[in-house]
Amino acid sequence: MLRFLVFILFLVSSFLSAKIIKINTGNEQNTIASAIKNASDYDTIIVSRGRYTESNLIISKKLRMIGVNDPVIDAAKGGSIFHVRSSGVTIRGFVLINTTVSYTVENSAIKIENADSCRIENNQFKNNFFGIYLLGAANCLIKGNRFVSYGKSEAGSGNGIHLWKCRNITIEGNRIQGHRDGIYLEFAQNCLVKDNYSSDNRRYGMHFMFSNSCTYEHNTFTGNSAGVAVMFTRYVNMHNNRFENNWGTGSYGLLLKEIYNSTISGNTFNNNSVGLYSEGSNKIIIENNIFIKNGWAVRLMANSMDNVFRNNDFLMNTFEISTNSTQNFNNFDDNYWSQYKGYDLNKDGKGDIPHHPVSLYSILVEKNSTALLLLRSFLVEILNYSEKVFPILTPEKLVDNSPSMSRIN
Amino acid sequence: MNTLYKITGYELRNLTRSKWTVLFTAIYFIICESLFLLEDQGAKVVLSLFNFILLFIPVISLFFGITFINNEKPFIELLLSQPVRRRDIFNGLYISLSLALTATMLIGVGLPLAFHFHSSKIPSDLLLIFLGSSILMNQVFIGIAFFGAFFFSDKSKGLIFVIGFWLFTFILYDMGILVLSYILKDYPIEKLMMILTVTNPVDVGRILILLQFDVAALMGYSAAIYQMTFGNIFSSAILLAILFVWSFIPYYISKTLFRNSDFII
């Protein structure tokens, strides 16, 4: 009890000592930089409407930076805008624009370095190189921000939200557009990526490497030039996301490389060249997903093993499953396949004859991509049909023994 | 010129009275209308129609075409005994058959399309490409039918040729491309394969459809060449031009054959 009282007292006293510093454009002396310099821990700096041309604002105190009526901070002089080096910093309600492209320094609108418990909320980021850059941060919240950038090339643009060696970061409800990677996580542990909308980025909607035990759910990734890539990671949970409209050669809805012990459930893969591409990924449970109108719903390389595909809907895909092996060590039972042509005489909802989701043509294409020129030709239909009747070249064991007769999800 | 009109007019009357042309019109109409019943997005209807037409037009043009000419052969011989120019006879036959078959298609498909044009928002460039390529496909295979009829004086041989041609363009040619692509798969053969594909009128039709889909992106490098170097509209125009060449060559050859033929039975 005493401890609690002391804590309350401490809190109250810290609030009492905290100042509120107001900044506006009218006063030449009154810059954000000087306000930060004069402030002490737990102060609040309120920046009102206007256009401020300031950059390299190093925050090494526990400050609350609040923008009222969308003040604009322009980084025209070069460098980053906010460089946070203290824990417990809040940055809210700013419009941060024009950090310049550099090939040696990651100029970012907000850079957080080795800090704890920071909150970045409801800011707008326009035409920046990097949006938010977190190095060695922990327990931070990035919420409700909007990022728009206009990078022309992959090399000449930065990431929207970039995490490097972070722990327990929550990225929630952001909209990211036109960066290199919308969200980039490397060596990030226990992070939650939720309700974000990442579209039209130069490379990946989200890029994810060496980031164990992360969860991402209810995000939408659409129109990115290469979709979403998840690599070299264990224990990832991907739930209820939408992967859409990633068309083009070398474009994927979701790319998995060396992923282990993860679950992918309730996601929708709509209108991608390749819905789910898996290379060297093992022990993944893929359930209750919808694969609709993709070129390839799933491309599973031979080094992917012990994965379980169950209760998924495969609807109107050009190729349902494609693989480069005649062996199969994955399980495909209990899915719904719109290309299934079987029947259900005993009315148990499961087809009576097994479904082979790999067509002969997809094998041919996998071995020799020039054969794609014959897509939808009469010959291909005949070849596929004859192979279905009497399978020789397609992997015999890659089979759904109890295909569902109706849509599951 | 007058005789050309007369022959064309006579043959057209003959053709329009035929039960077959009515049947073809009905088939086109029913298919098109039922597609609109199943799907209300105009673009998709046009694309499935495209698929259907690609299969149906060659069959009709080839088989109906050759039986028509074979039936008319005694009449042709009668005409040849009169002071009528051979060019007029040939053109009369060709024009009347083309007009009749194009009309069956345009009426059968065009009426439902015109009726649904606004309500289901059919993209007009897609519609133009569709109509253009189906008319050209029609001409290609009518030309082949004429060639079969006048190159082989034996009627059954002509029919066998037409069946063979159908089989060749639909299956054997693609099979050849597939095998060739396997034999040469270690070489950069994309451009060669692309050129080989567009020398077959059926494949040209198929690629024309694919280019209208997003599916073209699946075709990888080759489709990327079509799309990026030419743009969608321009590459479609090139493919249509190839079809035009295809429709002209058999017409020209069979006309020369007809003019130099002895017609000894």
**Model confidence pLDDT, tens digit, residues A83-96:** 999 999 999 999 99
Delimit the domains of chain B by residue range: 2-260
Neighbours of A313 (CB within 10 A): 20
User: Average pLDDT, stretch A370-387?
Assistant: 85
**pLDDT at residue B54 in the model:** 87
Cβ–Cβ below 8 Å for A249 and B217: yes
Cα A135 versus chain centre, distance: 18
Are B181 and A371 inside 8 Å of each other by CB?
yes
**The amino acid at B235:** S
> With bands split at pLDDT 50, 70 and 90, how would you rate the model's confidence at A332?
very high
Question: What is the C-alpha separation between A207 and A332, in angstroms, rounded?
Answer: 27
CB-CB neighbors (< 8 A) of A295 in chain B:
215, 217-218
- pLDDT reading at A192 higher than 60: yes
Band of pLDDT at residue B242, cut at 50, 70 and 90 = very high
Residue B39 near chain A (CB below 8 Å) = no
Over 60: is that where the pLDDT of A16 sits?
A: no
Q: How many angstroms separate the first and last alpha carbons of chain B?
A: 29
Could you tell me if B70 lies within 8 Å of chain A, comparing CB atoms? no
What is the Cα–Cα distance from B52 to B255, expressed in whole angstroms? 30
> Which residues, in sequence order, are bridge partners of residue B151?
none
Q: Worst-scoring range by mean pLDDT, A57-61, A259-263, B42-46, B232-236?
A: B232-236
pLDDT, residue B120, reads 81
Reply yes or no on whether the pLDDT at B229 is more than 70. Answer: no
- Confidence band for A180, pLDDT divided at 50, 70 and 90: very high
- Chain B hits for A376, CB-CB cut-off 8 Å, are 51, 206, 209-210, 215
Query: What integer pLDDT is reported at residue A29 of this predicted model?
Result: 66
Q: Which residue has the higher pLDDT, A326 or A67?
A: A67
Q: What integer pLDDT is reported at residue A7 of this predicted model?
A: 63
Tokens representing residue A48 in the block: 């009102």
Set of chain A residues whose Cβ sits within 8 Å of the Cβ of B207: 373
Could you give the ipTM of this predicted complex?
Answer: 0.82
SS3 label, residue A114: coil
Residues 168-227 in B contacting A (C-alpha not used; CB under 8 Å): 170-171, 174-175, 177-178, 181-182, 185, 189-190, 193-194, 197, 202-203, 206-207, 209-210, 214-215, 217-224
pLDDT category at A27 given cuts 50, 70, 90 is low
- A106 vs A75: CA distance, rounded Å: 13
Residue A325 has pLDDT above 80, yes or no: yes
- What are the tens digits of pLDDT across the range B118-131? 888 888 888 888 89
In 3D, which of A238, A241, A365, A252 has the Cα closest to residue A298? A252
**Sequence-separated (6 or more) residues with CB below 8 Å from residue B20:** B64
Contacts of B189 in chain A (CB under 8 A): 370
For β-strands A285-287 and A263-265, DSSP reports them as parallel
Element (H, E) at A184: strand A183-186
Mean pLDDT confidence for B159-166:
95
pLDDT over 70, % of chain B? 91
Of B177, B189, B223, nearest to A374 by CB-CB distance is B177
pLDDT (tens digit, 9 = 90+) per residue, B94-103? 999 999 999 9
Query: Among A221-230, A314-323, B45-54, B227-236, whose mean pLDDT is lowest?
Result: B227-236
Using the predicted structure, report yes or no on whether residue A69 has a pLDDT greater than 80.
yes
CB A105 within 8 A of CB A128: no
Q: From the candidates B174, B193, B207, B213, which should be mutated to test the interface with A, based on the most A CB atoms within 10 A?
A: B174
Q: Which residue in A247, A249, A380 is closest to B221 by CB distance?
A: A249
- Measured between beta carbons, which residues in chain B are less than 8 angstroms from residue A373? 177, 181, 193-194, 197, 207, 219, 222
Q: What is the mean pLDDT of chain A?
A: 89
